[in-house]
Amino acid sequence: MKTVIIYASVHHNNTKKIVDVIADEYGVDIIDAAKITEKDLSGYDLIGFASGIYFGKMHQAVINFAEVNLPEDMDVFLICTYGGKPVFDSIKGIIKEKQGRIVGEFSCKGYDTFGPFKLIGGISKGHPDKNDLDNAKAFFKGLCKNRNL
Ligand SMILES: Cc1cc2nc3c(=O)[nH]c(=O)nc-3n(C[C@H](O)[C@H](O)[C@H](O)COP(=O)(O)O)c2cc1C
């Protein structure tokens, strides 16, 4: 199963830690949407989008990437790290427009020093931790299993 994860991880590399652990274990391709804006994804069987949550949305670079590059009728999974709560609405609309199917969602806390949180040393310090990374690997393994791969 040829898989790619398109990610943006700009605050503390929290999301990148999740993306890397999956990529290292399962050999999936990764694309940094903050650096690469166009790519032909038609050769992939499964596409993941991953980022932190910033002002209630996934990173704009990931949203833009999906808008421009997501082929129609694809299986898609979503990953986010968050300080408060996971929110995938921003990208779900685009996936729906392109007749995509969301086959899985994974989220976990990520160290957050934005705004006033900086004054108290940040929240969710140490996340993603080992348990979060293990859960992410199990999530991806489950995705593969559901697809009989
Ligand atoms: C500018 C900014 C805005 C943020 N807004 C939110 C938010 O609306 N909701 C939330 O749960 N977390 C918010 N966070 C926390 C991040 O989502 C969290 O730290 C995430 O793990 C960052 O991922 P990254 O290190 O991969 O960029 C915000 C962080 C920053 C820097």
128 lines ligand 1 (CB under 6 A): no
Positive or negative, the Cα torsion across 101, 62, 51, 113? negative
Alpha carbon nearest to ligand 1 atom 2, residue: 54
pLDDT band per the 50, 70, 90 thresholds, residue 1: confident
Quote the mean pLDDT of the chain: 95
125 lines ligand 1 (CB under 6 A): no
Residue ranges and CATH numbers for the domains of the chain are: 3-144 (3.40.50.360)
Of ligand 1's listed atoms, the one at least distance from the Cα of 111 is 19
Lowest mean pLDDT among 2-11, 55-64, 116-125: 116-125
Of ligand 1's listed atoms, the one at least distance from the Cα of 56 is 8
Average pLDDT (119-127) is 90
